[in-house]
Amino acid sequence: MPAIRCHYDVLGVPKDADDALIKKSHRKMALKWHPDKNLDNPEEAADQFRLVQQAYECLSDSQERKWYDDHRDAILAGWSAGGAENNGDAGAFMLFQVVPFMHPGCYSGYGDEEGSFFQVYGAVINDIVKCEVKQDEVLIELPTDFGSSDSDWSLVQQFYQHWESFQSALNFAWEDKYNVMEDAPSRRVRRLMEDENKKARRAAKRTYNQDILALIAFMKRRDPRVKAKQREMEEKRLEQQRKQKQEAEERKQQQKEAKEAWKEEAARAMALAEEQDRAAGRVRLADLEDDYDYGGGKKKGKRGRGKKNKNKKKNQMQDDWDQQADQEVAVNGEGDEVDGNGQDEIIPQNDESETTEPVSTTPVEPAEPMPEQDDVDMNEFIDDDDSSYSSEEEEPDVWRCDVCKKDFKSQGQLENHLKSKKHKQAVKKYAAKMNMKEDEVMAEMMAALGR
């Protein structure tokens, strides 16, 4: 089978030639190869004249020329639209077959000699690029230098960065299922055929891109330069983790030492303050014996002690009343007689003197009767200081949670709030805030100690 010639080569025009140039070149080549002008070699002249006519018929039609430009490389490789038996040869010619290089048996060793890893796959990369530039209207920007065993890492990294994003520049026109120029009876059918052809092209291109990317991943996993760089990075990562862990332990130890120093300094300051207070004759509130609960509770045993003191004062008042009543009875009691007019007559008593003189006295008003015990309000005689006990025993009007900053109307509401999940979360946040403040104080002390 004779080799297929390109229409542009037959007419001798470039691929971007306009219609006028194509027409002019056709006229020239037709006169050159016309059978009447070549009587000495009529067979060759007839074949060349036929090629010239076929080329002009294709390139003079804009639609047919566009279709030919898309499929030119596949046609030159022996492909024909709709001919499935011949398309395999076109695909084999246009595409690089990656299957033979997807196993380790295709190379021997990792040196730079013939048949080694770098020599075999360096040639594979060059062949892939050659297949990509078969359609020379596409500009390919892919590195072809695979390097050697001692190549710099920047070169290796740049190579894999480009090839790991590989996208073929071929149009895969040989995968078309229909020849829209010959097989389409109408415009609607031609559009449907073109859609099917585009789907076939996209599917073939996607498969080819996946094959090339799989080959690049296969090469990278076995590249000794990549393995060496991965080991180096892993060692750096472990070393960095070790340094971070050591620095964290050192910071923790410094914080612990600073905390101990702060506690010692606080203890010394407190001892000095206590000594100064004792020297000045002052007594701290913490040194007093006081059982009052300053956290919000009530003073234990206070209610009973107040009632006891109150009863004691009542008994004492009752004794004073009884004693006063006995004294008045002694003054006005035995030997006194009261006449019918209500006047007291004092009976003269014998005196050692010889003469006695009558004693005139004024009437004495009778003493007011003692009030009954039940009629006396003992609370009137209780000191005002004792009333503080009863007032302190009264419950407060509002119960408050200082952490959540909320007020409650009863102690039961407060207790239920203290058991709630929201209050516990607020307590945790408050504790974390206090720990943060303590860390800030520790950091300031560390900075002060560093100076």
Of 182-191, 230-239, 328-337, where does mean pLDDT reach its minimum? Answer: 328-337
pTM: 0.46
Q: What average pLDDT score do residues 200-213 get?
A: 90
On average, the pLDDT of the chain sits at: 76
- pLDDT tens digits, 257-294: 999 999 999 999 998 888 887 887 655 545 555 455 54
Confidence band of 225 (pLDDT split at 50, 70, 90): very high
Instruction: Give the C-alpha separation, 190 to 180, whole Å.
Output: 6
Q: What average pLDDT score do residues 304-329 get?
A: 60
Of 11-25, 261-275, 343-357, where does mean pLDDT reach its minimum? Answer: 343-357
- pLDDT tens digits, 129-141: 888 887 655 566 7
